[in-house]
Chain A
């Protein structure tokens, strides 16, 4: 079975060429049909004009033929649209497919001059190997487990603290009265115009002077406050009618109790979006951890995936191909799968919330 799917490079090329030729042929046929129809239409109208001259009645086409023609036109259009959409879907999906199958190939199969579209032999050991990779460029022993723990700890802490700060700040800006509130809000919004790269240089110096390099603090603190989420939540809070507040006051709730028991449950969808986007942002962070945490043991999962993955001889004598120092793409693809799959799963289960959040903010966290 797998032999059938093993295609030579020539065969792959011919298949693609055939596909292109088919599409071109379909386009040609459709164009020809359109031209033909156009000519017919013109001829008919000329007939009709002549018919008018001859006073022998107007249109020659009856309703049935017109409907039939409309139907064929619609089918041709639909075929065209479906071909286009299928090509785009293939374009969108192909990298994922390629990622998964490459991660399961043996390195020898990956390096065949003839790319295979389905692995002959599933090399699950690739995944085993990346779990035992040790990146030791700076003398530290950073394993995948260590880096996963880093990412989860930093992700959870920065998400929880960030959401708490966002809620409290948004509540104060939406419901409380204090001097300079509007000026403060305007100042916060103004910083949204400025690209984050402008801060990075100073922040790098600040954290280096505080000796925060190679800690979790440096990964969490600078990104806790997100003005956009505060703005989003404040607008949500403003929509809650004031009568609820008065009712809560009558029932003897404090300001803080009102925030926790009334406002937070009412704005739950927005909060879920913010939480998810914050966590995804941490998962995808690359530049800042690399810059401030030179020690690999303190870096995040995206930093890990950009490193090289080699078939290093393990302490227990295990190796895939006898050990080596060359970076192997199959191992790298396995690592890429490990990083991408949680995101895909999250996307499938929380599509609604993520899309709502992203379509509002236009960022990926």
Chain B
């Protein structure tokens, strides 16, 4: 059938062998090309419909073959049909749970975020509109909760500093690990130790590094980080406490000391996974590339930036994508260091922290709006990542 269709379509007719002016000839050729393009498309469409027809015929034939046997009673047919669908029985528990806890919430989030003054428990609301979103952005929520703009700013800053930093550090460590032969295993084990840790528990440990302990009038200890910095003549900084230094731009506060602490913690907790991925990717690179580079007299840095890095680019982009997406959803790290109020009046709040704040305040309308904004931001970041990394992942 397909073949018949193909023979029907004649290829683009060859131009008549009449001699033309060069200029005119160009336009004639152009016309032929345009016509050829349409003919090609037409052929494709014809083929497509042709194939559908054959598929239907094939199905008919198949039915004829199966119905060749003894005629089945209606009940028997129904029973057999039911038996062939028994797969639904296997997936039923998963579907039921997902319907309640996944599919319904997605739909509900999209609908409820447009209900003004929506209260989840009573289901009452004042009307439809973008009121929730406007109020979330303006910080005009009526209850003294976290500020959305502050939370968004914190999340973006923390993500876009800590993710590239930890990826770069992981790259350097993997290169170093890859180049040594002795006690490689020991280094690997120690570097992988922070892998499976409880984010909140380790956050508390990091807080003790930076904490100043004592009363307002008498300081008992400045904490180990301040003591080390003191050697270089830097005055003690209140890294995690109430008097932590911050800059202010309009209503936005930038608690830079707290950013530093959080970034160090996030680099620490993010490194092992990144080293694991990059190191195993490096070990799988064909050694011939390195030998060839050595023969050509390439320097070590040339080998790193021109061979190793491009070869593991897919892994690097994967780490950046997952890192940024995880960073947008960060919550535990900040709570671990600064406690459940996320710093002083949520000055270290994150997007997720904002949601939970408004859930516990009972203002579910704002929580819905916030979660929808978070969803849209993550979608945009995924889209940008796909666009950017597509260009760089053509190796292999």
Contact = CB atoms under 8 A, between A and B. Distances in A.
Contacts of B280: 359
Nearest to A222: B101
A35 interface: no
Interface string B344-356: 0000000110011
A227 to B, nearest CB: 8
A87 to B, nearest CB: 10
A193 interface: yes
Contacts of A225: 94, 97-98, 101-102
B179 interface: yes
Contacts of A283: 198
Nearest to A96: B193
B154 interface: no
A198 B106 contact: yes
A92 B105 contact: no
A156 interface: no
A352 to B, nearest CB: 12
A189 B372 CA distance: 20
Contacts of B332: 286-287
B300 to A, nearest CB: 8
A21 B364 CA distance: 56
How many chain A residues sit at the interface, stated as a range, is: 35 or more
Contact of B220 (A17, A92, A113, A286): A113
A354 B196 contact: yes
A98 B201 contact: no
Contacts of A171: 90
Which of A9, A168, A193, A201 has the most chain B CB atoms inside 10 A of its CB?
A: A201
B45 interface: no
Contacts of B129: none
B65 to A, nearest CB: 18
B85 A95 contact: no
B228 to A, nearest CB: 5
Contact of A343 (B95, B197, B351): B197
Would you call the interface of chain B mostly helix, strand, loop, or mixed? helix
Contact of A221 (B91, B97, B351, B364): B97
B375 A198 contact: yes
B190 interface: yes
Nearest to A199: B105
Given A88-B173, A198-B371, A302 B200 contact: yes
Contacts of A333: 204-205, 208
Contacts of B187: 85, 89
A235 B230 CA distance: 56
A99 B205 contact: yes
A318 interface: no
A340 B195 CA distance: 11
A68 B224 CA distance: 45
B242 interface: no
B88 interface: yes
B367 A201 contact: yes
Contacts of A332: 204
Interface of A: 9-10, 12-14, 16-17, 77-78, 81-82, 84-85, 88-89, 91-93, 95-96, 98-99, 102, 110-115, 165, 168-169, 171-173, 176-179, 181, 184, 188, 191, 193-206, 208-209, 221-222, 224-225, 230, 280, 283-284, 286-287, 291, 302, 305-306, 329, 332-333, 335-336, 339-340, 343-344, 346-347, 351, 354-355, 358-359, 362, 364
18 contacts: A78-B180, A88-B271, A93-B190, A96-B193, A98-B208, A168-B91, A178-B85, A197-B352, A198-B374, A199-B109, A202-B105, A206-B101, A329-B211, A339-B198, A340-B202, A343-B196, A343-B198, A347-B193
List the 3 shortest-distance A-B pairs measured between CB atoms, nearest first.
Answer: A13-B231, A202-B105, A178-B87
Interface of B: 84-88, 90-91, 93-95, 97-98, 100-106, 108-109, 112, 120-121, 169, 172-173, 176-177, 179-180, 187, 190-202, 204-206, 208-209, 211, 213-214, 219-224, 227-228, 230-232, 268, 271-273, 276-277, 280, 300, 318, 322, 325, 328-329, 331-332, 335-336, 339-340, 351-352, 355-356, 359-360, 364, 367-368, 371-372, 374-375, 378-379, 382
